[in-house]
Chains A and B, each alone.
Chain A
Amino acid sequence: MSDKVIYAMYDDDEVLKDGAKKLVSKGVKIAEVFSPFPIHGIDPIIGIKNTRLGIMAFIYGLTGLLLATVGMRFFMVTDWPMNIGGKPNFSYLDNILAFIPITFEFTVLCAAHGMAITYMLRNKTLPGMPAQNPDPRTTDDKFVMEIRLSENANFSESDLQTWLKETGIIELDQKEIN
């Protein structure tokens, strides 16, 4: 399905925020905002849902905790019990204190790596992936707002462009995408 996308460029994040507020109050759906840094308070304006990364972090952490426990139970107690510092590994529970630091470290390791990889996958920014960014200047000092015509079927293209021009943009671009 072919779609037409409008890219509106700003040189100030506050101007973009005010513009976004005006457009949203008219009922325009803003698909995305590209910015060199996180713009504080933009999420609720353009209707981005709260991230679920925290839930994933908890699940990854729990996985790490279980893996570490099962692993150490097998290595240190079942497979090859050793006598360390006069504390023979006959039982996991009796020696649980010795295993807690590693359990903790592995929990953190899994949570942190899982979160980072999930984040990059979800944003399609794994190393080597093609850039999604419409304009390289948004990695420097410019801000771009993306509006898709298919999501704004109620408005005509010229209406959208007029409204955008009123919000203090510095450049307007459009592109056909497939």
Chain B
Amino acid sequence: MEFTLSKKAKNFTLALMGSGLLLTVIGLVMSMGDHHFKTKLLTNGLINSFFFFGIALGALFFLALQYATETGWYASVKRVIEAVAGFLPYGTGLLAIVLLVITLMDGAHIYQWMDPSTTDPSSHHFDKIIEGKSAYLNKVFFWIRTIIYLAAYLVFWRGFRNRSLEEDRIGGTEIHFKNYKKAALFLVVFAVFSSTSAWDWLMSIDVHWFSTLYGWYVFSGIWVSAMVVIVLLTLYLKKMGYLPNVNDSHIHDLGKWAFAISFLWSYLWFSQFMLIWYSNIGEEVVYYMMRIENFKALYFGMFLVNFAFPMLILMSRDAKRNVGILTFVGVVILAGHWVDVYIMISAGSLGANAHIGALEIGLVLLITGAFIRIILMNLTKAPLTPVHHPFLDESVHHEI
């Protein structure tokens, strides 16, 4: 069945973008004369471009995971996953533009190591620790890495999408086995890149500090956000009368993923926090001191919501099959993970000067509107049920 954008969806996304734009402009005007104006604007750009880019990347990873494990049940929701992953080119563009502007402004107080004075021994901004890291953290190498990450993700995405559409036309199992091999390769590449890109784009904001676990923590965050978006989109399509092959068992399985990955995220967050708390070394605790000093309620509140909500509410089998409960928990933890990214970035760049105001909310609404619109447009470009997927029959009869 072909998907068409309803008038309501068009108006809703337009309203989101419109109100977002209005709030953004108000926020911009309000903070125009602000001393931190540029840093604030770029921090917000980085937060939102990374968050939505991350959702698309998480969906791409999830798709590759299904190919590599030759999963059957997901075939009926494959196009939903692809639609979310289809935001990747737009997210990549957005992220690249924000990173480029930040680089041209010598870090804009977000990436301190981009400021030439920090590695200049004659300057009073000279920083010995940053100088020690400058073999890895310098503009040229940063961009070489960034371009490699983004290009690799885009090439894999294009390949998966083209083969998926080709499978609709010609069928057979050859494409399936090709996807299987490419997906295995992607997972290996992604295992390295997801960690290193998190160090480059996010961890280097707190440039003195490092944690080897950070990459997995960021990765689990984007994965759970992607799962939640996939669940919400599936529920929406189901409600609109599409996806006749998707039954309670598929929804249950998607709910299980959202539930399980919430645990993975909480586990990694806690592991990092507890080890640093226990060893209590000045160089390490500084990261948490900055967050506890300026964002105490928001930081721990975000952790509690992202951990306790899915754990307590989604634990039972019936809850994972209930549309209302899934939607409610999904929206709440999606917001929770946005706050996670917000604190991850602004605690290092703005610190005490960060607060959630008109600009922050406006930009989220604006990009959310565009994000939803693009995802729904992606859905219209291919049949909602893959025509010749080799496991389609298994998926139709999925029952747990």
Do these two chains really belong together in a complex? yes
Give residues in A with beta carbon < 8 Å to B: 40-41, 54, 58, 85-87, 97-98, 100-101
Nearest Cβ in chain B — how far from A148, in angstroms? 28
Nearest Cβ in chain A — how far from B322, in angstroms? 16
Is B279 a contact partner of A85 (Cβ separation < 8 A)? yes
How far apart are the CA atoms of A87 and B277 in the complex, in Å? 10
Chain A residues whose C-beta falls within 8 Å of the C-beta of B316 in the assembled complex: 54
Sample of 13 more A-B contacts, CB < 8 Å, known A54-B316, A85-B279, A86-B280: A40-B399, A54-B317, A58-B315, A85-B278, A85-B280, A87-B278, A87-B280, A97-B273, A97-B277, A98-B278, A100-B270, A100-B274, A101-B274
- List the B residue with the shortest CB-CB distance to A98: B278
How far apart are the CA atoms of A95 and B277 in the complex, in Å? 10
Nearest Cβ in chain A — how far from B345, in angstroms? 25
How far apart are the CA atoms of A54 and B316 in the complex, in Å? 9
Is B399 a contact partner of A97 (Cβ separation < 8 A)? no
How far apart are the CA atoms of A40 and B279 in the complex, in Å? 50
Give residues in B with beta carbon < 8 Å to A: 270, 273-274, 277-280, 315-317, 399
A-B contact pairs, 17 of them (CB 8 A): A40-B399, A41-B399, A54-B316, A58-B315, A85-B278, A85-B279, A85-B280, A86-B280, A87-B278, A87-B280, A97-B273, A97-B274, A97-B277, A97-B278, A98-B274, A98-B278, A101-B274
Chain A residues whose C-beta falls within 8 Å of the C-beta of B277 in the assembled complex: 97
- List the A residue with the shortest CB-CB distance to B315: A58
Nearest Cβ in chain B — how far from A43, in angstroms? 10
Closest 7 CB pairs of A and B: A97-B274, A97-B277, A85-B278, A41-B399, A86-B280, A98-B278, A100-B274
- List the A residue with the shortest CB-CB distance to B316: A54
- List the A residue with the shortest CB-CB distance to B275: A97
- List the A residue with the shortest CB-CB distance to B270: A100
Chain A residues whose C-beta falls within 8 Å of the C-beta of B280 in the assembled complex: 85-87
Chain B residues whose C-beta falls within 8 Å of the C-beta of A97 in the assembled complex: 273-274, 277-278
Chain B residues whose C-beta falls within 8 Å of the C-beta of A40 in the assembled complex: 399
How far apart are the CA atoms of A58 and B316 in the complex, in Å? 10
Chain B residues whose C-beta falls within 8 Å of the C-beta of A54 in the assembled complex: 316-317
Chain B residues whose C-beta falls within 8 Å of the C-beta of A101 in the assembled complex: 274
Chain B residues whose C-beta falls within 8 Å of the C-beta of A86 in the assembled complex: 280
- List the A residue with the shortest CB-CB distance to B273: A97
- List the B residue with the shortest CB-CB distance to A54: B317
Chain A residues whose C-beta falls within 8 Å of the C-beta of B279 in the assembled complex: 85
Chain A residues whose C-beta falls within 8 Å of the C-beta of B315 in the assembled complex: 58
- Tell me which of B270, B278, B279, B317 has the highest count of chain A C-beta atoms within 10 A of its own C-beta: B278
How far apart are the CA atoms of A54 and B270 in the complex, in Å? 26
- List the B residue with the shortest CB-CB distance to A85: B278
Nearest Cβ in chain B — how far from A40, in angstroms? 7
- List the B residue with the shortest CB-CB distance to A86: B280
How far apart are the CA atoms of A146 and B317 in the complex, in Å? 30
Nearest Cβ in chain B — how far from A50, in angstroms? 8
How far apart are the CA atoms of A40 and B249 in the complex, in Å? 14
How far apart are the CA atoms of A85 and B278 in the complex, in Å? 7
Chain A residues whose C-beta falls within 8 Å of the C-beta of B270 in the assembled complex: 100
Chain B residues whose C-beta falls within 8 Å of the C-beta of A100 in the assembled complex: 270, 274
Nearest Cβ in chain A — how far from B33, in angstroms? 43
- List the A residue with the shortest CB-CB distance to B267: A104
How far apart are the CA atoms of A98 and B277 in the complex, in Å? 9
- List the B residue with the shortest CB-CB distance to A58: B315
How far apart are the CA atoms of A87 and B317 in the complex, in Å? 41
Nearest Cβ in chain B — how far from A58, in angstroms? 8
- List the B residue with the shortest CB-CB distance to A50: B317
Chain A residues whose C-beta falls within 8 Å of the C-beta of B317 in the assembled complex: 54
